[in-house]
Amino acid sequence: MEEKGAENGVAAMAACYQGFDPAAYLQNNYTPPRADFERKDCVVLWKLACLHRAFTEGDVSGELLVDIGSGPTLYQVLSGCEVFNKVLLTDFLEVNRQELRSWLQDEGGCSLDWTPYLQHVCKLEGRRPSAWTEKAARLRQVIVDIVPIDVHRPQPLAHDALPSAGADCLVSCFCLESASPDLASFTRALGHIGRLLRPGGHLLLIGTLGMSYYFGGAGVKIPTVPVNEAQLCASLKESGYNLIRLEVYTLPQDMKLGVDDAYGVFFVKAMKE
Ligand code: SAH
């Protein structure tokens, strides 16, 4: 009975995602005020700073970085692409994989210009902003593929998508809580993606705090599981991760836009046992 309920919840989420609109999602979350490069306190600059720090501390290393639930975005791999020689992007929806392919092929048709993001991460790395073209070339060179994923499956990727040793690092932003109907399925999804990671490999997880819905397009209201810091820590532990660092960002009032009801954003650095 319980299992059937969980399956129905997951199926209902998948149905909601059929209305997801990459362009509208990018507009809501990756343009001002949430992405205002003149404003130090905006959420996007906080995320980029967390990722920059995590990827340059020295302990996160290896050959293969996998981004879980990439969506239509690239900001989450702009630091990691300098550390890893291979980056695998993944998403549940073909429309999002197509958006990423448009950028990769560099033939126009992208819904968002990633140039200011590339420039900003160059600055974080102590390079001149004009080095952004080199970073874009590096990212295009290291992306090995863009593949389907379902975090609710015990094996989220196709069986031949990864080498048998697993990934050296996972990054995942706003995917698990946005794709899970309840806390139990969020925790299970954390466990599923952990199976893609080698023991001793790192998980860099970004997500929303207290979010019960967000808009994935005009009129596309997606119900999500609200997670708090204590629940997040318990879920990580239960799924076999050791927490290294948890950072929390509280959304300023003027960044609450009605496109979701989150009160904040978390950043987690953890290691698989
Ligand atoms: N990582 C991006 C996108 C997050 S939006 C960012 O940082 O903004 C949530 C993403 O979860 C969407 O791209 C959606 O397609 C994906 N998603 C939805 N259901 C999923 C599932 N069952 N498995 C994996 N990803 C899923």
Segment 201-211, tens digit of pLDDT: 999 999 999 99
pLDDT single digits (tens) 146-200:
999 999 999 999 999 999 999 999 999 999 999 999 999 999 999 999 999 999 9
How would residue 2 be classed by pLDDT, with cut points 50, 70 and 90?
low
pLDDT of residue 7: 84
3-state per-residue secondary structure call for 170-188: EEEECCHHHHCCCHHHHHH
Stretch 204-222: mean pLDDT, rounded? Answer: 97
Ligand 1 pocket mutation pick from 13, 171, 178, 220 by most atoms within 8 angstroms of CB = 178
43-56 vs 115-124: helix axis angle to the nearest 10? Answer: 50
pLDDT of residue 143: 98
Helix (H, G, I), strand (E, B) or coil at 198: strand
Q: Relative to the CA of 93, which ligand 1 atom is closest?
A: 15
Q: Which residues partner with 143 through β-bridges?
A: 87
pLDDT single digits (tens) 99-113:
999 999 998 889 999
Stretch 235-260: mean pLDDT, rounded? Answer: 94
Which tokens is 231 given? 């629940």
Helix (H, G, I), strand (E, B) or coil at 89: strand
Residue type for position 160 = D
Identify the residue whose tokens are 């979010």.
211
* 215 touches ligand 1 (CB under 6 Å): no
Closest-CA residue to 247 (of 47, 44, 65): 47
Residue 39, pLDDT > 90, answer yes
* 21 touches ligand 1 (CB under 6 Å): no
Identify the residue whose tokens are 């290691």.
271
Q: CA angle at residue 202 from 207 to 117, to 5 degrees?
A: 55
pLDDT of residue 142: 98
Kindly give the pairing relationship between strand 86-91 and strand 64-68: parallel
